[in-house]
């Protein structure tokens, strides 16, 4: 099999709906060989190490040509619907007329309630040319929801008056960014055509200085009456029920959904103030008003996401009528254990948890060490997925977020996209092991401490000193970090390799892995027969491999013992009970 050819393929929908019997696929391959204009293929569908379906396709021909690539689209008919709540690896083997073949990998799940978030920021006239490639990248990341960042005319007035349009429907927003409303609409329609939800960015309480001056009774103030602002451009308004600002912002939301066709709103906040004062210096408690506002807008449609900056006030807003618990991560949540804490504190509300944890390691272009930035992002993604949440990282122009002003994203190189996409694919393929509703985190009780029942140890390796390497509960540097979940049928162990790292700060550069340690795991026999498997996005295209379990003397008597000789950055181990 010739895997030197750069073949890419992905589903043209972010996930399958329950009962779906077809998967639409896009396939791209390099231009340069006449034989590439026709080929046959085999699509193998795998779930947790088992082949679920194997489908053969007739030769198909090129539909279009992009820069350096031929593009094909094909709809695959399943022999039976895939199971709801499960993820599947898609392995495409392409055979060319001369008999040569090559393999490519993607994934799909049947999980209509999951939220995988992406972003778009480019709405200039010329961005319409690259819109299809942006949508392809979002589909490659399996994004179910996409935030349109900074698209409106003003934060308090989304629609510009027709007389103010210079040519067509074009304008500059409050930050001076050019917007062509036709490109906004084109992007909304393009996402919806592929089953993705388009969410309009809409800060819940931001207005221009001029608007506040004209409507001081709608503002929020510090004690003493000083207006509260962000960078002297965005002034904080009073969202309290009964204040005219609430009606104003809900009217803007209606314009976004009813006139422009957005599916919902990304309801943004800035993290402060938490308590402020109205124009009569009466206190306003924003956490309560956020919940009231979310629920008021949800009567118009609940395909919305609210931003809990730093995790506040997620304990309240998680109960409100919205699609996900969305947390923008800031200090003091700087370490891997803080990501775990944020996710574990909010998974119990029955909604997907999304972290906006910006990959600062990719930010400084002048001094950027891209290998270390890539290593950092891989660890960030693994740490987020392993705890049962998803990250907001990817979007416009194949870019990655590095800061809260999304316009200043960093474009990724193709080889970086390929590796990070393999992590996303892996999270889709094994979604029931990562996001299953019945899974409970038992790391503290089963894997660590005096009363633990599992045992983790690092076996010695020839010519490698591993004496200083440990097993950590909190994702400490220079350790292996196990995260354990269980339900009545499964034990799931995520192993994250932090060997060689100098710190546990999630958004700083990290060393590429250059020392692979092994691990031995002992687990009591919780059922008469237990079957063990492992997989990694960096091993065999994410395929599952069965592990040999052997009986050994464990902490509490007889145990099943498994050994993995070399751990990459992220390894998933599970036992079927």
Residue by residue, pLDDT tens for the chain (577 residues) are: 555 677 899 999 999 999 999 999 999 888 765 545 567 889 999 999 999 999 987 656 556 666 677 888 888 999 988 999 999 999 999 887 778 888 999 999 998 889 999 999 999 999 988 888 999 999 999 999 999 999 999 999 999 876 554 556 899 999 999 999 999 999 999 999 999 999 999 999 999 999 999 999 999 999 999 999 999 999 999 999 999 999 999 999 999 999 999 999 999 999 999 999 999 999 999 999 999 999 999 999 889 999 999 999 999 999 999 999 999 999 999 999 999 999 999 999 999 999 999 989 998 656 679 999 999 999 999 999 999 999 999 999 999 999 999 999 999 999 999 999 999 999 999 999 999 989 999 999 999 988 999 999 998 776 666 666 889 999 999 999 999 999 999 999 999 999 999 999 999 999 998 877 899 999 999 988 899 999 999 999 999 999 999 999 988 889 999 999 999 999 999 999 9
DSSP 296-338: HHHTT----EEEEETTTTHHHHTTSSSS-EEEE--TT--BHHH
Please determine, looking at this structure, whether the domain spanning 117-356 carries the CATH number 3.40.50.10860: no
How many other C-beta atoms lie within 10 A of the C-beta of residue 258?
A: 11
> Which CATH number does the domain 8-110 belong to among 1.10.240.10, 2.60.40.10, 3.40.50.2300, 3.30.1330.120?
2.60.40.10
Tens-digit pLDDT profile for residues 66-87 = 667 788 888 899 998 899 999 9
**Domain boundaries in the chain?**
8-110, 117-356, 440-576
Q: How many CB atoms lie within 10 A of CB 518?
A: 17
What was the pLDDT predicted at 35? 47
Q: How high does pLDDT run on average in the chain?
A: 92
**pLDDT 10s digits, 161-208:** 765 545 568 999 999 999 999 999 999 999 999 999 999 999 999 999
Q: What is the pLDDT of residue 252?
A: 97
The strand order across the sheet containing 8-11 reads 8-11, 22-30, 69-77, 64-66
Residue 560 has which token pair?
A: 């099943």
Burial 432-471 (b: 16+ CB within 10 A, else e): bbbbbeebebbbeebbbeeebbbbbebeeeeeeeeeebeb
pLDDT of amino acid 241: 95
Second-level CATH architecture of 440-576 = Sandwich (2.60)
> Contacts from 155-163 at CB under 8 Å and sequence distance 24+?
155/202, 155/203, 155/206, 155/207, 155/208, 155/234, 156/206, 156/207, 156/208, 156/211, 156/237, 156/248, 156/249, 156/252, 157/211, 157/252, 158/200, 158/202, 158/252, 158/255, 158/256, 159/255, 159/259
Burial of 74-90, coded b for 16+ CB within 10 Å and e otherwise, reads bebebeeebeebbbbbb
Domains 8-110 and 440-576 share a fold: yes
Q: How far apart are CA 559 and CA 522, in angstroms?
A: 6
- Rounded to two decimals, the pTM is 0.95
Return the half-sphere exposure (C-beta side, CA atoms, 13 A cut-off) of residue 316: 15
Distance between CA atoms of 213 and 176, rounded to whole angstroms?
21
What is the C-alpha separation between 218 and 220, in angstroms, rounded? 7
pLDDT at 3: 56
In angstroms, the Cα distances linking 176 to 43, 204, 233, 407, 546 are 48, 20, 11, 12, 56
């Amino acid at each position: 099999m010739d895997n030197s050819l750069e073949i890419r393929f992905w589903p043209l929908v972010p996930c399958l709906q329950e009962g779906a019997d077809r998967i639409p696929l896009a396939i791209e391959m390099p231009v340069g060989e006449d034989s590439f204009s026709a080929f046959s293929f085999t699509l193998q569908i795998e779930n947790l190490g088992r082949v679920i379906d194997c489908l053969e396709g007739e030769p198909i021909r090129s539909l279009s040509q992009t820069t350096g690539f031929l593009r094909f689209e094909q709809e695959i008919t399943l022999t039976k619907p895939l199971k709801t709540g499960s993820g599947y690896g898609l392995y495409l083997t392409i055979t060319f007329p001369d008999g040569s073949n090559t393999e490519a990998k993607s994934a799909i799940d049947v999980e209509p309630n999951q939220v995988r978030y992406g972003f778009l920021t480019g709405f200039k006239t010329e961005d319409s040319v690259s819109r299809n490639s942006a949508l392809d990248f979002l589909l490659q990341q399996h994004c179910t929801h996409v935030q349109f960042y900074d698209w409106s005319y003003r934060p308090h007035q989304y629609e510009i008056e027709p007389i103010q349009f210079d040519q067509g429907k074009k304008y500059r927003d409050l930050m001076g960014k050019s917007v062509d409303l036709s490109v906004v609409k084109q992007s909304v329609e393009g996402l919806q055509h592929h089953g993705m939800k388009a969410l309009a960015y809409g800060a819940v309480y931001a207005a221009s200085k001029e608007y506040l001056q004209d409507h001081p009774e709608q503002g929020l103030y510090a004690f003493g009456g000083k207006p509260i602002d962000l960078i002297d451009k965005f002034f904080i308004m009073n969202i309290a029920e009964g204040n005219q600002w609430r009606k104003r912002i809900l009217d803007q939301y209606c314009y976004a959904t009813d006139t422009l066709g957005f599916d919902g709103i990304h309801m943004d906040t800035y993290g402060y103030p938490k308590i402020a004062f109205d124009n009569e210096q009466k206190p306003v408690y924003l956490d309560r008003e956020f919940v009231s506002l979310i629920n008021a807008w949800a009567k118009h449609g609940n395909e919305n996401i609210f931003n809990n900056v730093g995790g506040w006030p997620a304990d309240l807003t998680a109960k409100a009528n919205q699609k996900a618990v969305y947390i923008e991560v800031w200090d003091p949540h700087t370490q891997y254990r803080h990501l775990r804490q944020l996710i574990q504190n909010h998974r119990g509300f029955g909604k997907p948890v999304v972290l906006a944890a910006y990959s600062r390691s990719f930010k400084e272009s002048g001094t950027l060490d891209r290998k270390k930035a890539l290593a950092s992002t891989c660890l960030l993604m693994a740490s987020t997925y392993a705890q049962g949440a998803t990250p907001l990282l990817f979007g416009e122009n194949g870019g990655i977020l590095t800061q809260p002003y999304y316009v200043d994203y960093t474009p990724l190189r193709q080889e970086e996209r390929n590796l990070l996409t393999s992590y996303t694919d892996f999270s889709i393929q094994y979604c029931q092991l990562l996001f299953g509703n019945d899974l409970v985190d038992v790391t503290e009780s089963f894997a660590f401490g005096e009363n633990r029942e599992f045992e983790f140890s690092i076996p010695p390796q020839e010519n490698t000193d591993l004496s200083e390497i440990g097993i950590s509960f909190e994702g400490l540097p220079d350790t292996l970090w196990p995260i354990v979940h269980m339900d009545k049928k499964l034990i799931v162990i995520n192993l994250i390799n932090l060997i060689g790292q100098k710190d546990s700060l999630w958004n700083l550069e990290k060393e590429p892995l250059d020392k692979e340690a092994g691990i031995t795991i002992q687990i009591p026999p919780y059922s008469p027969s237990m079957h063990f498997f492992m997989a990694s996005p960096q091993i065999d295209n994410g395929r599952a491999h069965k592990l040999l379990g052997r009986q050994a003397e464990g902490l509490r008597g007889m145990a099943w013992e498994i050994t993995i000789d070399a751990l990459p950055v992220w390894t998933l181990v599970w036992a079927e009970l």
